Amino acid sequence: MKQFLMIAGLVSLLCAGVESKSQNEATTSSKRHFKFTIDEIIDLAKNQSPDGIQAKHAFRASYWEFRSYKASFMPSLVFDATLPDFSRSYKSQWVNESYRYVQDFSSRISGSLNVEQSVPLTGGRISIGSSLSRTDVFGTNSSIQYMSSPVSISYSQSIFGTNQFKWDKKIEPMKYAEAKRKYLKAIENVSTVSVRYFFDLASAQQNVAIAEFNKANNDTLYHMAQGRYNIGNIGENDMLQSELNFMNASATLNDALLNLATSKNRLRSYLGFNESVDISIIIPEHIPELQLSLDKIMSLAKESNPDFMAYQRQIIEAQRNVAVAKANRGFTADIFARFGLDQRGVNINEAYKNPNDMETVQIGLRIPILDWGRGRGRVKMAQSNEELVRVQVEQAMSDFEQNVILQVNQFNMQGDQYRITAKADTIAQNRYKVSMQRFLIDKIDITEMNNAQNDRDAAKQRYITALRNYWTYYYNLRLLTLYDLINNKPLTTDYDSLVDK
């Protein structure tokens, strides 16, 4: 009968706790409550988090940079105009077999239409155009004259300089491919941050559940201890220990609730929700059976990770800088050639009648005679920088490989860790139930009961930590390889949908 009353008291107090919890939930009914799995949290973060939005805009910038590069190989149509060019000044003019300064008062209107095209093979530029101008001279010798060039073809070319188009054709496609991988990497980084916030909230939820359970139990145990103390079954020390346990459980619950609110706010903010949304998460109960091959992960990482693409690009850019420094060190020459037709007249018709040939050939030379070693110094600096880049790339690649090895080894241990902690959690829960039953029939003292409770709480927390570690290492490897290791397929996305065209 005594045992029955103790159990009945425990049940009534737990029911009172449930009723109190229901009343608290009623006060927050104005909020919208959502429960999310880990996959749902990650998907929301990819689309709504500040990091996900920033990754999208960074890719858009790279996309339009690549589009600009491709457009540089296409012809461009350009219209230039001067409307008008007004001048009033003195100028030197031959008058009566001598130069005299006479006042010039004139206005000039001109326009030209040109089609320009780069020549990637040589690095030059060709242009085809047509132009017309009108000059009005005011004063005593007023006149109007038109000048036309119905068609003209020009070509400019650096003879000994570097061909920028040649280097751009190597570097720019690499930069764009790297930008695609960087976007995927940024999105996977969102996943790793989401996993951290998810398990912060999972741990906080679990701690609140543990604290609520412990407070209710310790409240019951304290009242039972008072009853036993009053009839002389236990000493004052055990009764005071029960009271202290209840007070500590109450304080622990308050701390757990505060930590839960903080974790919710962080995750809610990261997902772009406001205060009207209340979030809780569904803790995963299983993990996939996955054992990874180091050789496969290393190969995937080197093939897909944008860091490796960046290493190759940096070496090519360093080689380009050396070539530019060498080309600009000594003798340089530029050539400009132009052929066309032109004519002038007092009206537009005459300006286009029987046009004359027009030819221009210009070669510009630059020969440094004394530069005090500046050209040679720039070459040496570029060569030194190239060597430095190579050394840095080799070191970065070595560090990258070591990181992959470490991540794979750590991940492959997490499956066993999870299974061990899951089994330990089950054992600890069962031990606690047995201890509770033995305590109720006065077979163990309060110290043994406390030990069982502490072991139960620690086992539950280690279980959550094992889950956190498993998914953290998994998404770290996805970040390194840009590969879906569970479904065995590379990560990809619809890049066109990311760009506002």
List pLDDT tens digits, range 257-315: 999 999 999 999 999 898 888 999 999 888 998 899 999 999 999 998 898 889 889 99
140 pLDDT more than 70: no
151 pLDDT more than 60: yes
Nearest to 42 by CA among 495, 491, 498, 499: 491
Confidence of residue 10 (pLDDT cuts 50, 70, 90): very low
pTM of the model: 0.79
- Mean pLDDT for 70-80 is 91
End-to-end CA distance of the chain: 80
124 contacts: CB under 8 Å, gap ≥ 6: 118, 155, 156, 157, 158
pLDDT for position 384: 92
94 pLDDT more than 60: yes
Sign of CA dihedral 470, 471, 476, 478: positive
463-474, pLDDT tens digit by residue?
999 999 999 999
Confidence of residue 501 (pLDDT cuts 50, 70, 90): low
Between 42-56, 119-133, 171-185, 361-375, the lowest mean confidence (pLDDT) is in 361-375
Confidence of residue 1 (pLDDT cuts 50, 70, 90): very low
Is residue 344 within 8 Å of 351, Cβ to Cβ?
A: yes
Between 191-200, 362-371, 380-389, 404-413, the lowest mean confidence (pLDDT) is in 362-371
430 pLDDT more than 50: yes
pLDDT for position 355: 86
Rounded Cα distance, 300 and 286, in Å: 26
> pLDDT exceeding 90 applies to what percent of the chain?
46
499 contacts: CB under 8 Å, gap ≥ 6: 59, 60, 63, 64
Average pLDDT, rounded, for the chain? 85
487 pLDDT more than 60: yes
Is residue 473 within 8 Å of 416, Cβ to Cβ?
A: no
Q: Which residue has the higher pLDDT, 392 or 224?
A: 392
17 pLDDT more than 60: no
Is residue 133 within 8 Å of 142, Cβ to Cβ?
A: no
Confidence of residue 95 (pLDDT cuts 50, 70, 90): low
Q: Which amino acid is at 157?
A: Q
Q: What is the DSSP string of 49-83?
A: SHHHHHHHHHHHHHHHHHHHHHHTTS-EEEEEEEE
Between 284-288, 437-441, 487-491, the lowest mean confidence (pLDDT) is in 437-441
Q: Which residue has the higher pLDDT, 86 or 180?
A: 180
26 pLDDT more than 60: no
4 pLDDT more than 80: no
- Mean pLDDT for 118-147 is 87
Rounded Cα distance, 238 and 26, in Å: 38
Rounded Cα distance, 454 and 116, in Å: 80
The beta strand positions in 314-446, using DSSP E, are 332-345, 356-366
Domain definitions of the chain by residue range: 1-28, 31-64+169-313+390-498, 75-119+124-161+331-367
9 pLDDT more than 50: no
Give the Cβ contact number of residue 92 at 10 Å.
9
- Mean pLDDT for 433-445 is 83
Is the CATH number of domain 31-64+169-313+390-498 1.20.1600.10?
Answer: yes
- Mean pLDDT for 429-436 is 89
Strands 32-36 and 489-490: unpaired
Q: How many helices (H) and strands (E) does the chain have?
A: 10, 10
CA distances (Å), 293 to each of 167, 299, 382, 404, in order? 38, 10, 41, 11
Q: Which residue has the higher pLDDT, 191 or 333?
A: 191
Q: Which amino acid is at 11?
A: V
pLDDT for position 25: 43
Is residue 77 within 8 Å of 115, Cβ to Cβ?
A: yes
Confidence of residue 27 (pLDDT cuts 50, 70, 90): very low
* Backbone dihedral angles phi then psi of residue 499, each to the nearest 5 degrees: -110, 135
Between 63-72, 164-173, 224-233, the lowest mean confidence (pLDDT) is in 224-233
Q: ∠ at Cα 341 (112, 86), nearest 5°?
A: 40
Between 135-149, 262-276, 327-341, 362-376, the lowest mean confidence (pLDDT) is in 362-376
445-464, pLDDT tens digit by residue?
778 888 888 898 899 999 99
329 pLDDT more than 90: no
